[in-house]
Amino acid sequence: MEERYYRLGCDIGGTFTDFVLLDDRTGEIKTGKCLTTPRDPSDAVEEGIRALEQTTPDFVGKLDELIHGTTLVINSIIERKGARTGLITTKGFRDVLEIGREIRYAPYDIFAEFPEPLIPRKYRLEVDERVRSDGTVLKPLDPDNARSVVRALLVMGVESIAVCLLNSFENPVHEQMIEELILKEAPDISTSISYHVLPQIKEYERTSTTVTNAYVKPLTGRYLSKLSGRLQTIGFTGKLFIMLSSGGVTSVDTAARFPVRIIESGPTAAVIAGQYYGKHFNIPEMFCFDMGGTTAKSCLIQKGVAGVVPTFEVGRVQRFMKGSGLTIQVPVVDLMEIGAGGGSIAKVSRLGTLQVGPESSGADPGPICYGRGGTNPCVTDADLLLGYLDENYFLGGTMKLDKEGARRGVEEKIAKPLGVSFIQAVWGIHDLINETMAAAAKTHIAEKGGNPKIVTISAFGGAGPVHAYGLATKLGSPRMLIPPNAGVGSAMGFFTAPRAFDLLRSHKVSLRDAVFAEIEDIFRKLEVDAGQILKKEASGDVIRFERTVDMRFVGQGSEMNIVIPNGDFTRIQRADVRRFFDDAYEKLYGRTYPDSEVEFINFKVRASLPEKLLQLPKMDGAGRTLDGAIKGERLAYSPVSKDFIPFTVYDRYNLFPSAKFPGPAIIEEKESTLIVGEGSHVSVDDYGFLWIEMKEVR
């Protein structure tokens, strides 16, 4: 058998598809980037692999792993391109998707819209059954009634069926009966059963998540099957993994069963890379900032850990307004999304002011300077006109940019309508997008109890390093950390992500009345199920399990996740569990209530395999000089001088350990460009990371 020592990370973004090839023997890294192909994302995957073969011939046959992140699932929800889906639910709960939580996200807006459910009402049918909240059966399911409902959906031509019955997380017997009926009536149809997808309390969230899974399951299955087949035709025989929204990676089979788990597949990876770098350099607080062509995602990493939240929204009617989207209840890295990317469109608003984003030109047609038919000026056009980008070195010189076309677009659509100078227009576009990101970042950091004046900014993505300096200046952050190959940061993050999967089960019981032997039984069943999911990937490795519980005061509407040390409930005292809860509650809220009863809500297990660590290679700086890294000078705009001034341009690939130089500077690599203003200082460490000490902390 041929030795396999390569790993390939492939991240499909809204504009570009990124590739990172890692040689596990030497730590050598090679990168690639090509435009995303929205109609068939696997086209870009093959194109990028073929391009890498030109520099590393025959590597495909020596690939041990290919780790993949994709926007396919979230895009199919936003664009409503999923399967025709039917829902089977308990009598009286047909409209739960529209009723939701009965909360208006904009209480004073009489025209506020809510997202249309993924399943129209005519495809939502009921069965007459009822399970009590304690799991006992109040009204048994009539098999004939259930069979007629299944057949009615099949007659309507549904491609996928979601089943979500009341209180099935406590007793799934009726859901299991319907699952068997569907298998007999239509063995090839896609099904999503809530007890498998999300056996968790809260009826709206459970239904919405199960329906979303069913809606994207056929499409995801077809895509992953096609991708696997396409990879095999070009000689790939290794293991294919998919990035999860929670920060782990999983097998293709698991991703196809639970596609709702990979909605935030790509953006999560950059955060996981930032988490790894933060631990490596012992940075207490890092603000990880990933700006691509379509959006910017960010996350505050505290004490080396990126937070994971149990719920998020997709397909918002008002993109950045909480409550205006579809609720998904799966673990996801705590990301903040901003409608700010290189492709964000600049225009004159109805009020006669400059507006940048959230609309994006995407990969097709893209900004004007791409020369692919775009007519709206975008952030990348402004960055080019400000001198920050080199029209002859975009993507390492493989993509020539149209500077004159960008100039005409900004003059005609921004400068003239606003009655401002050309320089005011292009700087306004760049600065406004930085201001938008800074405002959102300050809120995000404050919500997590952080301080922007002490965080280290780490930038990823093709546009991230271009805008990181402006963002750091507005936040008052003292330093920036720019890793090698920052432009393909998400693809790099795949190598630092653990092979892991999270499962949970709801069982509401007070601490006073809980039978700890029953709790231990719940945990062990979850561990068996999670172990089965990871079993194919284990290859003899020991699976590690982490247990946590969601608890709250009786009567509260939200709960806290509590870590139970040595979580064997047959050996834990009630007083210890109460102490763990009170300590966590007091830390978060400043006080606790010892006389109030607490209760368990959810029991959670994370199964993980030993991490296959990324070994950062050290740079060889022998014989290199700073003069050898200087490519020349380029006039670029300085907001301090309010004019174009000479910036020294450096080739990042020729920098070396211990190299130091001041700004103003432009540091170029194939996939991204770093801008450093006057008064700041750049130093290079042994691993090729760029450390930028900012001019001042405001």
Cα–Cα distance between 172 and 347 in angstroms, integer? 53
Evaluate whether residue 149 is within a structural domain.
Answer: yes
The stretch 657-685 carries a mean pLDDT of 93
Angle at 626 between CA 620 and CA 631, to 5 degrees: 110
- Asked whether residue 1 carries a pLDDT value surpassing 60, the answer given is no
Q: What is the mean pLDDT of residues 307-328?
A: 75
What integer is the mean pLDDT of 250-275? 85
Cβ atoms 687, 616 nearer than 8 A: yes
Is the preceding omega at residue 417 within 30 degrees of 0, hence cis? Answer: no
- Note whether 656 and 645 are same-domain residues: yes
DSSP reduced 3-state for 486: helix
Closest residue by Cα to residue 149 from 87, 83, 211: 87
- Alpha carbon distance 259, 531 (integer Å): 19
pLDDT at 698: 42
In a domain, 326, yes or no: yes
Averaged over 635-653, what is the pLDDT?
94
| Least confident window among 147-156, 331-340, 571-580, 675-684 | 331-340
Whether 654 and 660 have beta carbons less than 8 Å apart is answered as: no
Last residue of a domain, one of 411, 429, 447: 429
pLDDT mean over 66-80: 81
Q: Are residues 387 and 449 in the same domain?
A: no
pLDDT computed for residue 341 by the predictor = 80
- Is the distance from CB of 458 to CB of 435 less than 8 angstroms? no
pLDDT of residue 199: 93
Using the Cα atoms of residue 483, residue 367, residue 269 and residue 279 in order, give the sign of their dihedral: positive
The CA distances from residue 468 to 42, 56, 84, 151, 307, in Å, are: 31, 32, 43, 56, 22
Residue 319: the pLDDT is: 57
Q: Which residues pair with 608 in a beta bridge?
A: 500, 544
Task: Count structural domains, the chain.
Answer: 6
Of 571 and 666, which is predicted with more confidence? 666
What pLDDT, on a 0 to 100 scale, did the predictor assign at position 396?
A: 82
Q: Which has more pLDDT, 512 or 308?
A: 512
627: Cβ contacts below 8 Å, ≥ 6 apart: none
Let me know whether 581 and 644 are in one domain.
Answer: no
Compute the distance between CA of residue 209 and CA of residue 330 in angstroms, rounded to an integer: 8
The pLDDT of residue 203 is 92
Whether residue 620 is contained in a domain is answered as: no
Residue 237, in any domain of the structure: yes
Q: Find the mean pLDDT for residues 625-648.
A: 93
Per-residue pLDDT, averaged over 223-227, amounts to 90
Residues 413 and 310 in one domain: no
Count Cβ neighbours within 10 Å for each residue of 396-430 and write b for 16 or more, e otherwise: eeebebbbebbbebbbebbbeeeeeeeebbbbbbb
Structure tokens at 507: 């069982």
Q: Are residues 45 and 100 located together in one domain of the fold?
A: no
CATH assignment of the domain containing 158: 3.40.50
Strand 63-69 and strand 6-12: the pairing is: parallel
pLDDT at residue 317, as a whole number: 67
pLDDT tens across 2-37, in order? 678 889 989 887 777 889 898 888 878 888 888 888
In a domain, 437, yes or no: yes
**CATH number of residue 524's parent domain:** 3.30.1490
Read off the pLDDT of each residue in 516-528 and give the average, rounded to a whole number: 93
Residues 505 and 577 in one domain: yes
Last residue of a domain, one of 608, 635, 652: 608
Provide the pLDDT confidence category of residue 326 given band limits of 50, 70 and 90.
Answer: confident
Give the pLDDT score at 613: 66
Residue 697 is predicted with a pLDDT of: 42
Domain presence at residue 215 = no
Q: Residue 3: how many CB atoms within 10 A of its CB?
A: 8
> 26-40, 200-214, 574-588: which has the minimum mean pLDDT?
26-40
Question: Is residue 608 within a helix (H) or strand (E), and if so which, with residue range?
Answer: strand 598-608
Query: Looking at per-residue confidence, does 438 or 303 come out higher?
Result: 438
pLDDT at position 291:
87
Question: Is residue 254 scored above 80 in pLDDT?
Answer: yes
Q: Are residues 189 and 53 in the same domain?
A: no
* pLDDT tens sequence across 370-385: 998 889 999 999 999 9
82: helix, strand or coil:
coil
What are 396-420's pLDDT values in tens digits? 888 899 999 999 999 999 999 999 9
SS (H, E, C) 437-464: HHHHHHHHHHHCCCCCCCCEEEEECCCH
From CA 240, how far away is CA 64, in angstroms rounded?
9
Residue 363: predicted pLDDT: 63
* Beta carbons of 393 and 403 less than 8 angstroms apart: no
CA distance to 199, 203, 492, 666, per residue, from 602 (Å): 9, 14, 34, 51
Residue range 211-221: mean pLDDT, rounded: 93
Most confident of 62-71, 243-252, 372-381: 372-381
Q: Among 147-151, 445-449, 545-549, whose mean pLDDT is lowest?
A: 445-449
SS percent in the chain: helix, strand, coil, step 5: 35, 25, 40
Q: Angle at the Cα of 412 (from 410 to 415), degrees rounded to 5?
A: 60
254: helix, strand or coil: helix
Please indicate, yes or no, if residue 459 is contained in any of the structural domains: yes
Separation CA 216–CA 209 (nearest Å):
11
206 pLDDT above the threshold of 60 = yes
306 and 450 fall within a common domain: yes
697 domain residue, yes or no: no
Are 15 and 71 spatial neighbours (Cβ–Cβ below 8 Å)?
no
Segment of 261-265, 268-272, 677-681 carrying the highest mean pLDDT: 677-681
The pLDDT of residue 569 is above 70: yes
Q: Judge if 526 and 570 occupy the same domain.
A: yes
Q: Can you read off the two tokens belonging to residue 661?
A: 């130089």
Provide the mean pLDDT of the chain.
Answer: 88
Task: Single out the residue in 382, 407, 429 at which a domain terminates.
Answer: 429
The answer to whether the CB of 285 falls within 8 A of the CB of 454 is yes
What is the tally of helices (H) and strands (E) in the chain?
18, 35
Of 51-55, 188-192, 611-615, 656-660, which range is least confident?
A: 611-615
Give every CB contact of residue 60 below 8 A, 6+ residues apart in sequence.
Answer: 49, 53, 234, 235, 236
Q: What is the pLDDT of residues 468-495, one digit of tens each?
A: 999 999 999 999 999 988 888 777 788 8
Q: What percent of the chain has pLDDT over 70?
A: 96
Helix residue spans in 353-463 (DSSP H): 379-385, 403-410, 416-418, 422-447
Are 603 and 667 part of one and the same domain?
no
Domain residues for the domain of 545 are 500-608
Q: What integer is the mean pLDDT of 328-334? A: 85
Q: Are residues 570 and 649 located together in one domain of the fold?
A: no
Q: Do residues 308 and 336 both lie within one domain?
A: yes
Please, what's the b/e burial string for 659-694 (b: 16 or more CB within 10 A of its CB; e: otherwise)? bebebbbbbbbbbbbbbbbeebbbebeeebbbbbeb
Dig out the tokens for 569 from the structure. 């409930």
